[in-house]
Amino acid sequence: MAHTLPALPYPFNALEPHIDALTMEIHSQRHHKAYVDNLNKALEKAPDLAGLDIVTLLRGINNVPADIKQAVINNGGGHHNHAVFWEVMGPNGGGEPTGQVADAIKAAFGDFAALKAKVKENGTGQFGSGWTWVVYDPAAGKLAAVKKPNQDSPLMDGHVPVLGIDVWEHAYYLKYQNKRPDYLDAWWNVVNWKAVEARYVAARAGK
Ligand code: MN3
């Protein structure tokens, strides 16, 4: 079964003024769509992998044949990273973390301010394109902040992405131009903590 572009769970302008409608439209309908299309194209050469969901495919990246492995890393990673990104944002977002994920942030980072500082450091420190992530590390049994280049998925490291911010220029250039740190500060106004907590709870349950 072919991978499909998920529907955005809110209108393009729902994250204004922090993320502008045109960026959301181009980002979701063209950039994300290209990853999905190119992933499907790459998998035409590996029919055995066609039935795997995207998470299973990326966790098992070392089982992917060498001739399409990099295409799956780039486009499969691009597909899943963006699916997570749309999910952990939303209208009327922001504020302080709540529930189980608030406790997990306190345990791993001390407090929310320290987490934001680490996410910003990773996002501004990622040279070129990539992502700044908060992941659940099953081996350590806690949250961690990591940066990844390009579309490399944290799933390939055995981590579960709980929250991520895209720092490719296509994610912020129309509104923020070269000011990536300003975009990273503004991003917390659109975080959907309910969705982040749900991802954390599922990750702890081994899903
Ligand atoms: Mn992107």
Longest CA–CA separation in the chain, Å: 47
Instruction: Quote the pLDDT of residue 83.
Output: 98
- C-alpha 103/C-alpha 112 separation (Å) is 10
The answer to whether the CB of 3 falls within 8 A of the CB of 39 is: yes
pLDDT tens string 3-50:
999 999 999 999 999 999 999 999 999 999 999 999 999 999 999 998
Kindly write down the DSSP assignment for every residue of 152-178, as one continuous string. --GGGGT-EEEEEEE-SGGGTHHHHTT
Q: Give the mean model confidence (pLDDT) for residues 67-79.
A: 98
Tokens for 90, please give them.
């939303």
For 71, 110, 123, 186, the CA distances from 116, given in Å and listed in that order, are: 32, 11, 10, 11
Whether 122 has a pLDDT exceeding 80, the answer reads: yes
Beta pairing partners, 144:
135
Reported pTM: 0.97
The rounded mean pLDDT for the chain is 97
CATH 1.10.287.990 fits 21-87, yes or no: yes
Q: Give the mean model confidence (pLDDT) for residues 114-128.
A: 98
In this prediction, residue 207 has a pLDDT band, given cuts at 50, 70 and 90, of confident
Beta pairing partners, 137:
142
| Percent of the chain with pLDDT strictly greater than 70 | 100
Measure 137 CA to ligand 1 centroid, in angstroms: 23
Instruction: Quote the pLDDT of residue 70.
Output: 98
In this prediction, residue 174 has a pLDDT band, given cuts at 50, 70 and 90, of very high
Q: Give the mean model confidence (pLDDT) for residues 70-94.
A: 98
Instruction: Quote the pLDDT of residue 1.
Output: 64
Instruction: Quote the pLDDT of residue 106.
Output: 98
Measure 170 CA to ligand 1 centroid, in angstroms: 6
The answer to whether the CB of 20 falls within 8 A of the CB of 174 is: yes
Measure 23 CA to ligand 1 centroid, in angstroms: 10
Tokens for 116, please give them.
């934001």
* Helix (H/G/I), strand (E/B), else coil: 143: strand
Sheet strand arrangement including 142-149: 142-149, 130-137, 160-166
Overall fold of domain 99-204: minor pseudopilin epsh fold (3.55.40)
In the chain, ranges of CATH 3.55.40.20 domains: 99-204
Q: Give the mean model confidence (pLDDT) for residues 164-193.
A: 98
* Helix (H/G/I), strand (E/B), else coil: 120: helix
Measure 155 CA to ligand 1 centroid, in angstroms: 17
Measure 27 CA to ligand 1 centroid, in angstroms: 6
- C-alpha 102/C-alpha 185 separation (Å) is 19
Pinpoint the alpha helices (H) of the chain.
21-26, 33-43, 54-59, 66-87, 99-109, 112-125, 173-176, 180-187, 193-204
Backbone angles phi, psi at 76, to 5 degrees: -70, -45
In the chain, ranges of CATH 1.10.287.990 domains: 21-87
